[in-house]
Amino acid sequence: MAVTIYDIAREAEVSIATVSRVFNSNTNVSEKARERVLKVAKEMGYHPQAMAQGLARKKTKLITAIVPVLSNYFLTEVLDGVQDGMTDADFDLNIYNVRSSDDISGQVEHLLKRGMAEGYLIISIHMPEKKWRQFGNYKQPIVLIDEYSSLFDSISVDSVEGAYNATEFLIRSGHQRIAMIAAYRGSKPVSDRILGYRRALEDHGLMVDENLIFTGVDMDRDGFTERNGYEAMLKLLKTDYLPDACFCNSDIQALGAIKAMQDAHITIPLIGFDDIRFSELLGLTTMKQPMYDMGKLAIEKLLNRLTSPDSEVSHTVFSPEMIIRSSSTIDIHQEETGL
Amino acid sequence: MAVTIYDIAREAEVSIATVSRVFNSNTNVSEKARERVLKVAKEMGYHPQAMAQGLARKKTKLITAIVPVLSNYFLTEVLDGVQDGMTDADFDLNIYNVRSSDDISGQVEHLLKRGMAEGYLIISIHMPEKKWRQFGNYKQPIVLIDEYSSLFDSISVDSVEGAYNATEFLIRSGHQRIAMIAAYRGSKPVSDRILGYRRALEDHGLMVDENLIFTGVDMDRDGFTERNGYEAMLKLLKTDYLPDACFCNSDIQALGAIKAMQDAHITIPLIGFDDIRFSELLGLTTMKQPMYDMGKLAIEKLLNRLTSPDSEVSHTVFSPEMIIRSSSTIDIHQEETGL
DNA sequence: CTGAAAGCGCTTACAG
DNA sequence: CTGAAAGCGCTTACAG
């Protein structure tokens, strides 16, 4: 069907080896031969086929990022960093979105064994260590982002610490009855953040009240949605004894929570988590994750591992940085809002 | 390095053909042979290599979606539809994110000629018809989403019509001085929406005032960001003679615009475009794009073309549907807002 | 600088 | 049901 190296060789009256050389090393080819080859290749619309090259070279020049959901600020920023970090490398990046409905580990495994890519960036996918060990059998270069396993290079953020600091800040600001807006508890970051929240309360002699942990109904994207935050805050505001302040699992939920407060004409101090782009405009105090840098570092690690497969496994844990804005210092009061 | 079909054949004492059959057609293999093969395959950790299969079969069982930016609601919803539409098909979907900084058409071309996938979904990437024709030479099955070219199957939404109807609605509501928040004008949807806006004004005998078309400074994602909307609305609100109402290029910008109005304690009626998930909670009147359905239809078309390559090229154009909520009917007034 | 040839790991008629 | 063999389209020592 398509034109192959043989067609070009025939027309240009050279061997296929020469054609191949023109399209590759570009060395050891006479100027005349090169020109002829290029000419007929252009005429016939020839281009090397990735599959055949992949097989012959045993390299695919491909890196696959495996992600749980698209369109989540965390992911986007991370991938931005990844892409910037690989501009000089001769690799393509493709993204594979596992379907959350189905067997996630099965999907990841499927990709790993297909072996289509030379290396894998696995982002925000959480599994028991046992599973990761199993995947180690595929001998594929892997870097984990937002997850940890002793077997692979990894980059993550200390969610426990971040939640702890956020909550402690609220306590130090004089609040006693501090609520949390959580999300799907099966998600590692969520359970970590709940843990940090609880610890901070305990360390400061405050009672942990499970009824003060709210979640919306919408569990799309593990609950990391505006809607979930909106719903959660609505519940919070309906409690008889209103909390003084709230630590919110993510900025995107905080956005919904703020809307809910506006609708209810009640505002309580709020701290988010992530520092997405809109947070600055919202005046949202938040725990910033260095998402871009995480992506950049991740691809660096992966590229390194590709060149030196036997180098030591390395783990990087970032500490979230508190960004203080206005949302955390608002006094409790009623107010009129528009829209 | 990795274990191949030869290793299995040797250990299981069968030919490579039999091994291959076990992993494929699953037909014409005795139960005994199958069991032996499966057993040693499992022991040795064998799995067919995608590249080799791809070459031998001349099929890759892969579909590539080429997209301009990740994390944009439109895209996510479309891809959701795509994935749901291909669950029964034996294909993997991978996503390729072209970098907006570089030569976009070059990147698309690169993918097309690598020929790694069997079919391509190209989403929200705009090019002159001439370019598309050029890409036709690669003989790859392609479906265009949010773009049109006579050569390929396509699915789009009539942005002109949507903007026209939104603007007309505002006019019919009694507004005379109607502003628009636009975005990067080099973007097809943006220029189409500006066109619809202008036409509606003209058709109703209203003057088109270029100074009433606002845009933010932030042109990340062609200006489809909360920040851009925020900045644009800020400019709008600073004009001496305040507009009566505003048609906003996208819901995500409307989100920022609403925030800006709150910060300025001024609210004017607003209509967005897209109907992203948060819009309902925002009470945002908007022109809904059937994103999910577009994705689903797109993959259907592509799958069809894969099976019958010579079927007629088909174009589907959806009309945006107006979803009326509260944001479009608010009277101009000052108010107090929180946050 | 150039070509013949082996090899990458699989699939698939074909013959039995 | 099974195997030998050709073929998919390229790369890369090797010999010249």
Torsion angle defined by CA atoms of residues A181, A183, A189 and A193, in that order, rounded to the nearest 10 degrees:
20
**What is the predicted pLDDT for the residue at A330?**
62
Q: What is the mean pLDDT of chain A?
A: 91
Q: What is the mean pLDDT of residues A191-216?
A: 97
3 state SS for chain B = CCCCHHHHHHHHCCCHHHHHHHHCCCCCCCHHHHHHHHHHHHHHCCCCCHHHHHHHHCCCCEEEEEECCCCCHHHHHHHHHHHHHCCCCCCEEEEEECCCCCCHHHHHHHHHHHCCCCEEEEECCCCCHHHHHHHHCCCCCEEEECCCCCCCEEEEECHHHHHHHHHHHHHHCCCCCEEEECCCCCCHHHHHHHHHHHHHHHHCCCCCCHHHEECCCCCHHHHCCHHHHHHHHHHHHHCCCCCCEEEECCHHHHHHHHHHHHHHCEECCEEEEECCCCHHHHCCEEEECCHHHHHHHHHHHHHHHHHCCCCCCCEEEECCEEECCHHHCCCCEECCCCC
A1: confidence class by pLDDT, cuts 50, 70, 90: low
> Whole-angstrom Cα distance, residue A245 to residue A138?
48
Minimum-distance CB partner of A71 among B75, B116, B225: B75
Single pTM value for the model: 0.88
pLDDT tens for each residue of A92-111: 999 999 987 678 999 999 89
- Partners of B211 in the β-ladder: none
Polymer length of chain B: 339
Rounded to the nearest 10 degrees, how much is the dihedral formed by the CA atoms of A193, A195, A201, A206? 130
Give, in Å, how far the C1' of C10 lies from the CA of B16: 9
Summarize the confidence of residues A298-314 as an average pLDDT: 94
Q: Judged by CB atoms within 8 Å, which residues 149-208 of B form the interface with A?
A: none
Contact pairs from chain A to chain B, CB under 8 Å: 165
* Span CA (B17) to C1' (D4), Å: 9
Is the pLDDT confidence value at B70 over 80? no
Mean pLDDT of A25-34: 82
φ, ψ of residue B292 to 5 degrees: the values are -60, -45
- Could A336 and B339 be called an inter-chain contact, meaning their C-beta atoms sit closer than 8 Å? no
Q: What is the model's pLDDT at position B273?
A: 97
- The whole-angstrom distance between residue A20's C-alpha and the CA centroid of its chain comes to 39
**Other Cβ atoms within 10 Å of A281 Cβ, number:** 18
Contact predicate B119/B90, CB 8 Å = no
CATH (residue range B5-157+291-319): 3.40.50.2300
Nearest-by-Cβ selection for A227 from B230, B281, B336: B281
Cross-chain Cβ contact A262/B45 below 8 Å: no
Cα A215 to Cα A97, A164, A166, A190, A249: the distances in Å are: 25, 19, 18, 11, 10
pLDDT digits over A70-94, tens only?
A: 767 888 889 999 999 998 888 999 9
Q: What is the DSSP letter of A220?
A: G
Q: What is the pLDDT of residue B71?
A: 66
Q: Domain-by-domain residue ranges, chain B? A: 5-157+291-319, 159-289+322-334
Q: Is the pLDDT of residue B337 over 70?
A: no
Q: Over the range B294-320, which residues count as b (16 or more CB within 10 Å of their CB) and which as e?
A: bbbbbbbbbbebeeeeeeeeeeeebeb
> Do the chains contact at B116 and A50, CB–CB below 8 Å?
yes
Set of chain A residues whose Cβ sits within 8 Å of the Cβ of B114: 47, 49-50, 92
The three-state secondary structure class of A287 is strand
- CA–CA distance, B271 with B256 (Å, rounded to integer): 13
Mutate to test the interface with B, among A1, A69, A70, A224 (most CBs of B within 10 A): A70
How far is it, in rounded angstroms, from Cα A237 to Cα A267? 9
Q: What is the pLDDT of residues A229-260, one digit of tens each?
A: 999 999 999 999 999 999 999 999 999 999 99
Q: What's at A87, amino acid-wise?
A: T
| Superfamily of domain covering A159-289+322-334 | Response regulator (3.40.50.2300)
pLDDT score of A306: 92
Interface test with A, best of B62, B70, B124 (most A CBs within 10 A): B70
Sorting pLDDT into bands at 50, 70 and 90, what band is A64?
very high
The answer to whether the B5-157+291-319 and B159-289+322-334 domains have the same CATH topology is yes
CA of B49 to C1' of D6 (A): 20
- Tell me the sheet residues that pair with B318: B157
Q: Pull the structure tokens for residue B115.
A: 């020929």
CB atoms within 10 A of CB A58: 12
Q: Are A304 and A311 in contact (CB under 8 A)?
A: yes
A107 neighbors A97 (Cβ within 8 angstroms): no
Q: What is the average per-residue pLDDT within A38-57?
A: 90
Is A202 in a helix, a strand, or coil? helix
The verdict on B309 touching A (C-beta cutoff 8 Å) is no
